[in-house]
C-alpha cells in the first residue's frame, strides 16, 4: 500500500523535498508553511495542505507568482474535464488561455 492516495500527492511531495534539498527553503520554513496551512483548514486532506504550502512557498520565493499558479490549476482542470477516464491528461496551450 502506498503512502499516497493519488499520483499528484507523490509528485507534490517529491517537488517539495527536492526544492528543500536544493536550498530554496529550509526545513523550518517548510514546517512553518505546512503548519500554517493545516491550521488554516484543519479539516482539509493532508496533501491538499501540503500542496497549498508548496504553492505558497514557490510564490513567496519568486519561483513563479500566484496568478501563474492559478492559471495552470485552471488549465489542468479544463484538460481533466475533457479527458476520458483512464486516459492520461494532456495539457495544451489553449488550456492556459
Find the domain containing 53 and state its range. Answer: 26-96
pLDDT tens, position by position, 18-61 = 999 999 999 999 999 999 999 999 999 999 999 999 999 999 99
Q: Over 90: is that where the pLDDT of 3 sits?
A: no
| Cell numbers given for 39 | 491550521
**Domain assignment present for 21:** no
**Domain assignment present for 1:** no
**Domain assignment present for 60:** yes
pLDDT class of 93 with cuts at 50, 70, 90: very high
Report the number of distinct structural domains present in the chain: 1
Rg (CA), the chain: 15
**Domain assignment present for 36:** yes
Q: pLDDT value at position 1?
A: 65
DSSP state of 58: H
**Domain assignment present for 3:** no
Residue 31 burial (10 A CB sphere; 0-12, 13-18, 19+):
exposed
Torsion sign (Cα): 52, 8, 62, 75: negative
Q: What is this structure's pTM?
A: 0.79
Integer CA distances (angstroms), 36 to 48, 57, 60, 66, in order: 13, 12, 14, 17
Amino acid at each position: 500500500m502506498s503512502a499516497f492516495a493519488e499520483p499528484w500527492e507523490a509528485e507534490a511531495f517529491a517537488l517539495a523535498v527536492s526544492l528543500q534539498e536544493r536550498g530554496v527553503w529550509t526545513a523550518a520554513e517548510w514546517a512553518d508553511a505546512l503548519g500554517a496551512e493545516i491550521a488554516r483548514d484543519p479539516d482539509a486532506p493532508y496533501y491538499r495542505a501540503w500542496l497549498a504550502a508548496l504553492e505558497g512557498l514557490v510564490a513567496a520565493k519568486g519561483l513563479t507568482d500566484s496568478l501563474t499558479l492559478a492559471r495552470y490549476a485552471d488549465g489542468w482542470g479544463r484538460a481533466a474535464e475533457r479527458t476520458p477516464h483512464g486516459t492520461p491528461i494532456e495539457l495544451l496551450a489553449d488550456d492556459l488561455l
